[in-house]
Amino acid sequence: MHKNALIYVAGGNGMVGSAILRLLSRKGYSNLLTMPSSELDLRNQVAVDDFFNINKPSIVIDAAARVGGILANQQYPYQFLMDNLKIQNNLIDASVTYEVEKFIFLGSSCIYPKFANQPLREEYLLTSALEPTNEWYALAKIAGIKACEAARIQYGKDFLSLMPTNLYGPNDNFDLKTSHVLPAMIRKFHEAKVRSEDLRMSNPKHIERVELWGSGTPMREFLHVDDLADAVVFALENSLEDHLYNVGTGVDLSIRELASMIQSIVGFEGDIVWDDNKPDGTPRKLMDVSKMTQAGWKAKLGLEEGIRSTYDWFLENQNSFKEVKI
């Protein structure tokens, strides 16, 4: 891959896109392009087509999506389905039309069936029903995977899909209404720690409590966004044989164990209350990452180390957070 090839990273201002741009820049790629949503609405087919016609990128990395946790997916199913379909379809179709050399589509482990065998293998796609709490997002991502596969079959395109497990890291969404579980826990524990310290000034016996959704028993796997960026650049610089690859660590833990780890890192000394009236989601989502391992890539950053660095980033940037609008 030539270091001066024009690489367009869609969603470059988000957590994933910004991590990819940072790594590409560090590795010497000098011709990088991204556009904020205020200047290019990827849901607008005409605008996307004009953008490709003018810029003609050689490489496209699709890190753009409407994302959120269980609450956001339940409240806004139409937006999660339609917006993601529009974004990815416009990007994929324009990439076919304007002869993009390589297209990398990023999805999520939620594409796999709710009760699929563990760990999740790529061939389990479309073998049974999805998890209802995020099926709208999953359906859109499945359509994107199949569109990339169809482009490979019909046009011989080097289009491929990478399915990361649960992501976290710098530039994550910490809005409690729309965030995923790990950043939501960081914020909840931090704010409870601050409240507890304030209240203990007047009442030394005060015990602060943090309420978390579900039973805490589901098992989840987490990947630092810098590791995903490394996997994307690996896929960019190598010719991978298949169209679909899982990206993860191959190691999971329970939500209760995750909460305990984050509580310790943040330094919150109060109690955790589990609201088991709230949904748990899929019981387990562990990725089989053997295909990427065999191709030559493996995750590097441990979970505790990654959470500590993410909490440090949170502390440095918490005053700049904006409310996420759906």
- Quick: pLDDT tens for 215-263: 999 999 999 999 999 999 999 999 999 999 999 999 999 999 999 999 9
What confidence tens digit (pLDDT) does each residue in 162-184 have? Answer: 999 999 999 999 988 878 899 99
166 is an annotated ligand-binding site residue: yes
Burial of 187 (0-12, 13-18, 19+ CB in 10 A): buried
Neighbours of 236 (CB within 10 A): 20
Confidence of residue 310 (pLDDT cuts 50, 70, 90): very high
Looking up tokens 């030539």, which residue turns up? 2
The class (CATH top level) of 7-170+221-250+288-300 is alpha beta
Q: Where are the domains of the chain?
A: 7-170+221-250+288-300
Please report the pLDDT score of residue 179 as a whole number.
83
Residue 14 assigned ligand-binding role: yes
Q: Count CA atoms within 13 Å of residue 95 on its CB side.
A: 33
- State residue 32's pLDDT score: 98
pLDDT given for residue 326 in this prediction = 44
107 is in an annotated binding site: yes
**Considering the chain, what is the average pLDDT of its residues?**
94
What's the pLDDT at 197?
A: 86
Is 136 within any annotated ligand binding site?
Answer: no
Give percent of the chain above pLDDT 90.
Answer: 83
Centre a 10 Å sphere on the Cβ of residue 150 and count the other Cβ atoms it contains. 15
| CA distances, 210 to each of 187, 195, 307 (Å) | 11, 11, 19
Q: Please check if 273 is assigned to a binding site.
A: no
The fraction of the chain above a pLDDT of 70, given in percent, is 98
Active site residues: 137
Higher pLDDT, 326 or 301: 301
pLDDT value at residue 70: 77
132 is in an annotated binding site: no
